[in-house]
Copies of this chain bind each other. A is one copy, B any other.
Amino acid sequence: MAGKVEIRRKALRENLIKIADQRIGEDGLANLRARDLAKDAGCALGAIYNIFDDLTDLILAVNALTFKRLGAAVAADLADAPEQPIEQLVVMGQAYYHFAAENHNHWRALFDLPRSEGETAPEWYLEEMGRLFSYIHGPLSVLRPNLGEKDLHLFTRALFSSVHGIVLLGIDQASAGVPEKDLDRMIALLIRQISK
């Protein structure tokens, strides 16, 4: 019966991720507590540390889920988009914004997780980021066929970063915020202008 332990561990692992995912969604990353997790999961406090190195490790697992959902949301909206490259970029930008708005706490957790000095993001993080980039890269390469590969990559990154910045400052700051209609419009304006 080599496995009873592994099965239980695996179940607890999934359970902990599910519960942390819920709590982050409801209360935000800053309100996640190891003791709450243990209570909700019906396990000992120390059990968390049998499975994860530390809370950061657990949060990374939640962030992986969030990243997958984000990718899926963007892909779903993209599927219904017109086939003009520029419209696809607009749809993607707005899909990114809508996901961030509707999953604020989850989305923030992607970027709020403090990575200690000089530590690089985990590999899957870069991969998921790359997937998002590749969505942009396609339409952009059609719009800008004269750009070299390196410049195209820079441009792709710049476009993503720009939309990210608009969403971040638009949603996040209590700086009087920007109404949803306006944010959608800002994103569309930016992308149309940048892709022209």
| Chain A interface residues toward B at CB < 8 A | 28, 30, 114-115, 117-121, 125-126, 129, 154-155, 157-158, 160-166, 168-170, 173-176, 178, 182, 185-186, 189-190, 193-194, 196
- Are A166 and B165 also in contact (CB < 8 A) when A154-B186, A158-B186, A185-B154 are? yes
Total copies of this chain within the assembly: 2
A69 to B153, CA, bound (A): 33
Q: In the complex, what residues of B have CB within 8 A of residue A114's CB?
A: 30
A33, chain B: closest CB distance, angstroms? 15
Name 5 interchain pairs, CB-CB below 8 A, sorted by A: A121-B175, A129-B175, A158-B166, A158-B186, A160-B169
> Are the CB atoms of A182 and B154 closer together than 8 Å?
yes
Given contact pairs A28-B117, A121-B175, A190-B194, a sample of 11 additional A-B residue pairs in the complex whose CB atoms are under 8 Å apart? A118-B174, A126-B175, A126-B176, A154-B178, A154-B182, A154-B185, A158-B190, A161-B162, A162-B190, A164-B168, A193-B196
A170 to B190, CA, bound (A): 19
Q: In the complex, what residues of B have CB within 8 A of residue A175's CB?
A: 120-121, 125-126, 129
Q: In the complex, what residues of B have CB within 8 A of residue A115's CB?
A: 174
A75 to B136, CA, bound (A): 35
> Are the CB atoms of B157 and A186 closer together than 8 Å?
yes
> Are the CB atoms of A169 and B194 closer together than 8 Å?
no
A196 to B190, CA, bound (A): 12
A28 to B169, CA, bound (A): 22
Q: In the complex, what residues of B have CB within 8 A of residue A182's CB?
A: 154
Q: In the complex, what residues of B have CB within 8 A of residue A129's CB?
A: 175
- Are A174 and B119 also in contact (CB < 8 A) when A193-B193, A194-B190 are? yes
A129 to B174, CA, bound (A): 12
CB nearest neighbor in B for A163: B165
Residue in B121, B166, B169, B186 whose beta carbon sits within 8 Å of that of A173 in the complex: B121
